[in-house]
Structures are given as C-alpha cells and as structure tokens.
Structure 1
C-alpha cells in the first residue's frame, strides 16, 4: 500500500471513531448523563484540534 492509501484508510477509521463518539455523546446526553456528555465533547474537541493542526502542517 502506498502512503495516500494508508492515510485514506486511517481517515476512514478515524471518521468511524468520531461518528461513534458523537453517537455516544448524544445517547448519554439524552439519558441525562450530562457529565459524561461534557467529557466526551472535550475529547471530541481535542481530536478536532489535532486533526486541524495536522492538516495545517500537511498543506504547507
């Protein structure tokens, strides 16, 4: 596998993970587990920040 293909596979797995995280966030929030929802949102925010940082370094 070449580098772009490996990266595409990683991005696909990452998207699945993020979708699951967001699904859990919504489920917990709807069940009144606000503390858990807040913690999950913080993790999602960190992931988003890392992705943006990585994207910024790759495009330059």
Structure 2
C-alpha cells in the first residue's frame, strides 16, 4: 500500500521545483530533499507515476 502523505509530499516537491526552476527534478534531487539514498528517490518517483493522479481511467 502506498502512503498517500508520501505521494503528496513527493508531488509537492516536484511541482515546487517546476515552478522555481522550470525543470523537472532528477530522482537524485528527490532523494536529497527527503534525506534518502538515490534508489529511494527513484522509488518515490515511480510510486507517484504508478498512482496515475488525475487519471480518468
């Protein structure tokens, strides 16, 4: 089961980075934000993509 709060925090960081820099953060940037190893940043990104937020189907 995916933690909805974790998804929300990850999504917020990604969107905030888009606004600040105009670029998507790399998964290592996500890991750094959450004080985690790079593999954990990649896992957070994949969990967010798998959640298909806003998807109609």
- TM tier, smaller: 0.3 to 0.5
**TM-score of the superposed pair, with normalisation by structure 2:** 0.42
Structure 1 or 2: larger helix share?
A: 1
**TM-score of the superposed pair, with normalisation by structure 1:** 0.40
